[in-house]
Amino acid sequence: MKRAITEQDIDRLAKGGRLVVTREMLLTPAAREYLSRRGISVDYETNTAHARERISEGDLASIIEQVVMEELTSPESSASNSGRSPAPQAPQQVPTVQKEGESDHRYLGRVLDALPQSDLSENRAIVTVVGQNSPGIVARISTAVAQCGGDLADMNQVIVGDYFSLIFVVNLGGLESAGSSFRLFKERLQNEASSIGCVKTLVMHEDIFKAMHKV
Amino acid sequence: MLLTMKEIHETIRMIESENLDIRTVTMGINLLDAPSKEVDALCRFVYDRIYERAQNLVGIAQEVEDRYGIPIVNKRISITPAALFCNGLRSVEEFVAVAHTLDRVAQDCGVDYLAGYSALVHKGVTAADQMLMDAIPHALSSTNRICGSVNLGTTKNGLNMDAVRHMGHVIKDLASRDPRAMGCAKLVVFANAPEDNPFIAGAFHGTGCADVNLNVGVSGPGVVRAALERARNQGRLDDFRSVTELIKKLSFQITRAGEFIGREVATMLGEPVQFGSIDLSLAPTPAIGDSIADIIEILGIESTGAPGTTAALAMLVDAVKKGGTMASSSVGGLSGAFIPVSEDQGMVNAVARGSLSLEKMEAMTAVCSVGLDMVAVPGSTPATTVSGIIADELMIGVINNKTTAVRILPVPNTKPGDRVDLGGLLGELIIMPLPGFSSEGFINMRGFIPAPIHSFKN
């Protein structure tokens, strides 16, 4: 389980205008707002190399095995990893033994449930740009995304005649460490898009889509 | 779990071209602890309390709008029924003064409307209730953002016909104070009024609610209409099962969006604001295509009001409710379908074509929708006839254990067929003809129509 970090926790945890966020910590929206209000910078102590990479399905099984072994063999190292966290988490109870008679996919499901979720998967924006087709649009927009600390997760492009519609799915996990915020990110993209003649730019947080489409 | 591009496109289409929006976030505020003996102290308290609770409502709603890209059209406030917290006042003038204070604080908070200038008289009228009803014509005609309501009957208590008769005169008086009878657009009479309704004009903060609630209403007729139209064009609109399935699915999505936004706004407002409920009603707007009548017509009724209309509307609303209750455990408010004539361009067209009469609308409200809403009649209509229309509509609610309401505008110096433009979300009125026979004898009888029996339902 991740631990939610609220406004009250921040005063306790932040040292010298810096807050170190470990994998086990989850900032609430109010806490994020509080951080930016107080001008506290956020450092993400990452061990999320796996999450950042695109994983092919074939590699999944071996990665799971590797993570399970890591969690099992070195609970101390994972605790020291989050050593700056004042309340160290209990080690994840990742199942390592397939029960008798348990099917493979049920076992895999149990393993996946027990693994920590990636922070990055919980904060994305959907960026939609519509306009007249001209070269370099994707490059311009994606550069702006990167400069704000965003990370492209997915992209889709439809071209009809002279017009195109682009949809980017952007991970926002790096926005704060790049000194940006959702509002600045949105403004930046809208300015960028209108400067290259796009007629419509929508920047929407992913949660509204999830609310409507995922149960 | 990644979203598919199809899902992303679907949501963007609903918001960008099918008028999906959050119709209103309404903050309900408890004022029962107001000191009610002395009017100046009361007004100061009311102003301070409302301002303290609601000053951030508009700003935060806009922030949420910005983040999720879905418009929140109205930001509103509802309060404890004024007759309750003004119980100690001693004159009609003092009640009017309270209305002016409410109007000022609504303006200072930047909200569109403040509702709850209300009285609950279904079991009898207190001195304060009487003064509030008497203050309504002056109060609503001299303010811009205040809405009032009076609950005249409930299934448990029957219908207070003395109050029904009185409200006929109040409505006529209020209408006569403006050439377009605008004040009447801010007044609604109820049977079985819900305590957590986010929609204007009938919103108030019920006595069973927490100190501060946030209730949400969604729009969405445009989304349902567009999806049914696509299904029809693809030849998929030929059996009732597929129609209701489609509507249920859309209602689910619309409701999820509404609840999500409501909870987000409530969370950002912070303590003591609690998310209250989401109202499932499909709320039309004068925008082309954002219309309940259009949906009925896509289902194969040539013009709304033709035989089959009541059945089509009943099926539509039932499917909306089924999808919505699956999507949220906090369904509340009115949760029917609104068929306000002026606010729904398709309804205006149906009245203009002569297919939709007041009597047919009454039938439609019996199965599903909330009531006779934004109905205009000639200014010469006697008060007893207005009361007769109210009695008919509210008795449908009392007998059937549902909410019904009347918002009627007897527009001065008009005759049937005249058009009156109210502007903005209120749209355009067409004056509807009435049979021309009197209900005076019945309306002038004293007392209550008794509560109905709950057995032998036929």
Segment B368-390, tens digit of pLDDT: 878 999 999 999 999 999 999 99
- In this structure, the answer to whether residues B223 and B187 fall within a common structural domain is no
Q: H helices of B270-382, where?
A: 292-298, 309-327, 345-353, 358-367
Strand partners, B113: B76
Residue A117 has pLDDT above 80, yes or no: no
Nearest to B439 by CA among B372, B393, B400: B393
Select from B153, B175, B191 the last residue of a domain: B191
Element (H, E) at A207: helix A206-213
Q: How far apart are CA B414 and CA B108, in angstroms?
A: 36
Q: Of all residues in chain A, what percent are helix, strand and coil, respectively (each to 5)? A: 45, 25, 35
- Among A183, A208, A213, whose Cβ lies nearest the Cβ of B68? A208
Q: Are residues B272 and B310 in the same domain?
A: yes
Q: Which residue of B has its CA nearest to A118?
A: B1
Please report which confidence band the pLDDT of residue A27 belongs to, taking 50, 70 and 90 as the band edges.
confident
Interface touch A167/B2, C-beta < 8 Å: no
Q: Where are the domains of chain A?
A: 3-118, 123-213
Looking at the fold, whether B403 and B322 belong to one and the same domain comes out as: yes
In a domain, B19, yes or no: no
Nearest Cβ partner of A126 from B8, B257, B270?
B8
Residues on chain A touching B69 (C-beta within 8 angstroms): 202-205, 208
CA–CA distances in Å: residue B290 to residues B109, B223, B226, B293, B321: 29, 8, 9, 9, 19
Tell whether the torsion through CA atoms of B429, B332, A210 and B64 is positive or negative. Answer: positive
Q: How many CB atoms lie within 10 A of CB A34?
A: 19
Residue B120 and residue B181 in one domain:
yes
Spatial distance between the Cα atoms of B351 and B371, rounded to a whole number of angstroms = 16
Gap between the Cα atoms of A44 and B8, Å rounded: 29
Per residue in B273-309, pLDDT tens?
999 999 998 888 888 888 999 999 999 999 999 999 9
CA distances for A103 relative to A95, A109, A110, angstroms:
14, 10, 11
B211, part of any domain: no
- Answer yes or no: do B236 and B182 share one domain: no
Interface with B, mutate which of A118, A208, A214, A215 (most B CBs under 10 A): A208
Q: Sorting pLDDT into bands at 50, 70 and 90, what band is A59?
A: low
- Which tens digits make up the pLDDT trace of B60-85? 999 999 999 999 999 999 999 999 99
Interatomic CA distance for residues B203 and A147, integer angstroms: 47
Are B392 and B153 within 8 A, CB to CB?
A: no
Residues of chain A with Cβ-Cβ distance to B11 below 8 Å are 208-209, 212-213
Q: How far is B227 from A97, CA to CA, in rounded Å?
A: 49
| Number of neighbouring beta carbons within 10 Å of residue B375 | 26
Q: Locate the chain A residue with the closest alpha carbon to B5.
A: A156
A29 neighbourhood in chain B, CB within 8 Å: 267-268
Same domain assignment for residues B113 and B221: no
Please answer yes or no on whether B257 and A204 come within 8 Å at the CB atom. Answer: no
Is B244 in the same domain as B312? yes
Q: Are residues B247 and B187 in the same domain?
A: no
Q: Where are the beta strands (DSSP E) in chain A?
A: 3-5, 18-21, 25-27, 41-44, 124-132, 151-160, 163-171, 198-205
Tell me if B257 and A183 make a contact (CB, 8 A cut-off).
no
Is residue B116 one of the residues assigned to a domain? yes
User: H or E stretch including B76?
Assistant: strand B72-79
Q: Is the pLDDT of residue A178 over 90?
A: no
**B56 at interface of A, judged by CB pairs closer than 8 A:** no
ipTM above 0.90, yes or no: no
Residue B231 has what pLDDT? Answer: 92
Answer yes or no: do B307 and B402 share one domain. yes
- In B91-154, where does DSSP find H-type helix? 92-109, 127-141
Closest chain B residue to A183 measured between Cα atoms?
B67
**Cis bond upstream, residue B71 (ω within 30):** no
Q: Distance from A103 to chain B by nearest Cα, in Å?
A: 23
Q: What pLDDT sits at residue A131?
A: 85
Residue A75 is which amino acid?
A: P
* Residue B349 located in a structural domain: yes
Query: Where residue B259 sits, what CATH number does that domain have?
Result: 3.20.70.20
CB B328 within 8 A of CB B321: no
Q: How many domains does chain B have?
A: 2
Asked whether the beta carbons of B79 and B116 are under 8 A apart, the reply is yes
Full domain range(s) for residue B111: 29-191
- Quick check: B329 contacting A, CB < 8 Å? no
Q: Give me the residue from A182, A210, A211 closest to B67, CB to CB.
A: A182
Same domain? B222 vs B185: no
Residues B184 and B239 in one domain: no
- Amino acid A49: pLDDT: 45
Are A127 and A141 in contact by the 8 Å Cβ rule? The answer is yes
Which residues fall within 8 angstroms of residue A53, CB to CB, at 6 or more apart? Answer: none
* CATH tag for A123-213 (out of 2.170.150.70, 3.40.50.300, 3.30.70.260, 3.40.109.10): 3.30.70.260
CA distances from A60 to A50, A112, B2 (A): 10, 11, 17
**Do residue A30 and residue B5 have CB atoms under 8 angstroms apart?**
no
First to last CA, chain B: 50
**Same domain for B242 and B126:** no
